[in-house]
Amino acid sequence: MKKVIMGNHALSYGAMLSRAQVIAAYPITPQTQVVELLSEMCANGTLDAKFIKVESEHSAMAACLGASMAGARTFTATSAQGLALMHEMLHWASGGRMPVVMGDINRAMAPGWSIWTDQIDSLSQRDTGWIQFYCSSNQEVLDTVIQAYKVSEKLMIPSMVILDAFALSHTYEVVEIPEQEKVDAYLPPFNPPYRLTPADPHAFGGLTSPDHYMELRYKLQKDMEKVPALVEETGREYEKMFGRYLGQVDDYLCDGAELVFVTSGTAGLTARVVVDELRAQGVKAGNLRIKLFRPFPFEQVRSILSRVPKVAVLDRNISYGHHGVFYQEVKSAMYGLPSEPAIFGFIAGLGGRDITRETYKEIADYALKHDRPEEEIVWIGVKK
Amino acid sequence: MSKERKMTITLPREELMSSGHLACQGCGATLAMRYALKALGQKTILCIPACCWSVIDGPFPHSSLDVPIYHCAFETAASSASGVRAGLDMVGDKETTVMAWAGDGGTFDIGIQALSGAAERNEDFIYACYDNEAYMNTGIQRSSATPIGAWTTTTPVKHYKKERKKDIIGIMAAHDIPYIATASIAYPEDMVKKFKKAKDIHGTRFIHIYAPCPTGWKSRPDDTVKLARLAVQTGYFPLYEVENGEKWTLNLKIKERKPITEYLKLQGRFRHLKQDEIDLIQAEVDNNYQKILKKCGL
């Protein structure tokens, strides 16, 4: 069935079709419609789940984790300050191997108060041990929620499904809503190997000496390393059942390109339009949209970018005192390869400033004109 | 030959706590757990935030308890327990009792937001606070449960604690939750009775346990039970219940309350107090006790 829905509701439908059993959430703009629709679904019986209306995001994640430990499939959604407040519990989720799936609506961090999009909120959680998917359409949001449960529960690692504030969260698009029976066939019920039950009492998360701690973290990393292949496998399986492939990256005309944009989120869709326009003007451009950011899709990024002379990374974020985060990550992935391209870093669109075709044209002009980046960061559209 | 006498054991025989735990000698919190589990039985799941009990239980991969434990973040005893309850309900386990088990710091201070939220939602679990009146696990720092006059490492003798202990029962009673009780490790029958009563009630149940700490109070380990008893007998920690925020019941009437100095003098943390300061504390205790009597209609 096709429906015209907003990005936020794509998250809700994803959670509903995945049969989330416990939802705990706290309202924050621009996330509110996600949980409004879910609480309606819980109230009218469309979704058989407990909705805990907690008093903060910290408690939202804590409640999800408690429910996950009890063996229930859990969902929450938040944004910006809410995600920052959850920070401690994000480590708890991955460290405790609790496969929560959470929607994060990328919103700029205060002060000054901003409800508009950029990626600093979720990228600040880069090292918490969560899988991160950056989506660029409402369809992708819905599909990725379902896939995220499959990946997360297989490896017992939590997932964040991320979408841009307003540019996606409040934008209505046509979305194919999969049939419940087919989703049930794709995603079996959550059945964790260990759980809180008096029938088999264990103590979870207790005091862990240096004799054991490091091994727990080693295992988490080893399982993280399995994510790219599992995303590939579950993405192909999804394609077989639903006709849509869900991969780690979206490669648009990168093969044989002279300049490739590296993008993420909705800005990654704008880039495709610009690639077409540049190609019409005789510039062989391409676009590599990174969807799976954590773990970083090293293999695919390396194989695509090592065949390209110039790479322009667009960051809607900044790591103060360093570079844009995607720029750092792409450079680190390409470092030392025999065919390392010239990699340029651009920052644009912070705090919800639009990223338009003109933004990309400026980027392309700069990258085509220079052999190497002359500045550490090239800011696009900033009033200096 | 003496006549054979039979003693009736009034507490459940079931032991869900084994020896080999890591508590200090004379730990009140350890006795508290033992009695609480005797009352609740094996079908209990504990949510334990950062507190002495996150260590007492034993390091990974050991546990001294025969019930499942979820070691949760410091401020999340109540929110974690809310989640565990919801999760159990969704996987079809309606029978198991969920109990948040937190210290005074995790309850009076850092965890009070989550606790208030859960109580407002009337979440279906028991919240037990074992109160040893300071952050003992981190080395005796003051909490808002530390009594007036006490020394701690952050309220040194020259600047001993000048603020009153937070009225946690008053706060919880204001949430109109179905059941609140105070309990003392010196009165195990009373404590077991209260946990059993709490087990059969639905909604948020709050039990405030008085748990002396020889390490932090600078008292003798063998005085723990005596101190807990004196706290009740002086009227410093009366035993009572509050049902639905309105029905207050005093469980143990003290005909002649002992002077507070008997309780204070056994503890190094009060050693610096002069007579006029002790008199002030006595006046505080009298005042609080009268308030509780009044609420209990006595």
pLDDT digits (tens, 9 = 90+) for A320-363: 999 999 999 999 999 999 989 999 999 999 999 999 999 999 99
Same domain, A148 and A22: yes
Q: Tell me how close the Cα of A304 comes to any Cα of chain B, in angstroms.
A: 42
Helix (H) or strand (E) holding B183: strand B179-184
When divided into structural domains, chain A yields a total of 2
Give CA–CA dist B276/A65, Å, rounded.
51
Q: Which residue of B has its CA nearest to A207?
A: B59
Going through chain A in order, the beta strands assigned E by DSSP cover 2-6, 22-25, 50-53, 74-79, 101-106, 131-134, 159-164, 172-176, 203-204, 249-252, 259-263, 285-290, 292-294, 310-315, 342-347, 378-379
Q: B58 and A203 in contact by Cβ < 8 A?
A: yes
On chain A, the residues whose CB falls within 8 A of the CB of B120 are 55
Same domain, A26 and A134: yes
Give CA–CA dist B39/B189, Å, rounded.
10
Same domain, A34 and A6: yes
Same domain, A180 and A273: no
Q: Tell me how close the Cα of B122 comes to any Cα of chain A, in angstroms.
A: 11
Same domain, A218 and A256: no
Among candidate residues B75, B69, B81, B83, the one with its CA nearest the CA of residue B103: B75
Among candidate residues B193, B198, B256, B190, the one with its CA nearest the CA of residue B228: B190
CATH code: domain of residue A202: 3.40.50.970
CATH code: domain of residue A365: 3.40.50.920
Return the structure tokens found at B21: 């735990």
Give CA–CA dist B49/B75, Å, rounded.
7
Q: Tell me how close the Cα of A267 comes to any Cα of chain B, in angstroms.
A: 37
Give CA–CA dist A376/B184, Å, rounded.
65
On chain A, the residues whose CB falls within 8 A of the CB of B66 are 201
Nearest beta carbon to residue A198 from set B43, B47, B117: B43
Q: B84 and A196 in contact by Cβ < 8 A?
A: yes
Same domain, A259 and A278: yes
Residue A118 within a domain: yes
User: What is the C-alpha end-to-end distance of chain B, expressed in Å?
Assistant: 48
Whole-number Cα distances in Å, B53 to A224, A235, B36, B136, B215: 32, 44, 14, 11, 15
pLDDT digits (tens, 9 = 90+) for A146-188: 999 999 999 999 999 999 999 999 999 999 999 999 999 999 9
On chain A, the residues whose CB falls within 8 A of the CB of B45 are 70, 196-198
Which of B55, B70, B95 to mutate against chain A (most A CBs within 10 Å)?
B70
Q: B45 and A63 in contact by Cβ < 8 A?
A: no
Q: For residue A19, report the phi and psi dihedrals to the nearest 5 degrees.
A: 55, 50
Neighbour-count burial of B127, counting CB atoms closer than 10 A to its CB (0-12 exposed, 13-18 middle, 19+ buried)? buried
Residue spans per domain, chain B:
28-295
Domain boundary residue, one of A212, A241, A270: A241
- Alpha-carbon dihedral B198, B199, B205, B208, rounded to 10 degrees: 60
Total CB pairs under 8 A between chain A and B = 170
pLDDT value for B6 = 83
Give CA–CA dist B111/B115, Å, rounded.
6
Task: Give me the CATH code for the B28-295 domain, please.
Answer: 3.40.50.970
Q: Which residue of B has its CA nearest to A212?
A: B60
Residue A163 within a domain: yes
On chain B, the residues whose CB falls within 8 A of the CB of A68 are 83, 87
pLDDT value for B2 = 63
On chain B, the residues whose CB falls within 8 A of the CB of A49 are 90
Residue A337 within a domain: yes
| Interface ipTM > 0.90 | yes
Using an 8 Å Cβ cutoff, are A190 and A72 in contact?
A: yes
Same domain, A55 and A109: yes
Residue A207 within a domain: yes
pLDDT value for B4 = 80
Residue A384 within a domain: no
Q: Report CA A312 to chain centroid distance, whole Å.
A: 21
Q: B60 and A49 in contact by Cβ < 8 A?
A: no
pLDDT digits (tens, 9 = 90+) for A272-308: 999 999 999 999 999 999 999 999 999 999 999 999 9
Domain boundary residue, one of A224, A241, A258: A241
On chain B, the residues whose CB falls within 8 A of the CB of A55 are 113-114, 116-117, 120
Return the structure tokens found at B50: 């950062």
Domain boundary residue, one of A211, A241, A271: A241
Same domain, A223 and A362: no
Same domain, A27 and A173: yes
Same domain, A203 and A285: no
Whole-number Cα distances in Å, B202 to A208, B179, B243: 35, 9, 12
Domain residue limits at A298? 249-379
pLDDT digits (tens, 9 = 90+) for B243-292: 999 999 999 999 999 999 999 999 999 999 999 999 999 999 999 999 99
Which of A64, A69, A195, A200 to mutate against chain B (most B CBs within 10 Å)?
A69
Q: Is A72 on the interface with B (CB under 8 A)?
A: yes
Q: Is A347 on the interface with B (CB under 8 A)?
A: no
pLDDT digits (tens, 9 = 90+) for A219-246: 999 999 999 999 999 999 999 999 999 9
Q: Report CA B209 to chain centroid distance, whole Å.
A: 2
Q: Tell me how close the Cα of B175 comes to any Cα of chain A, in angstroms.
A: 15
Q: Which residue of B has its CA nearest to A196?
A: B68
Q: Is A204 on the interface with B (CB under 8 A)?
A: yes
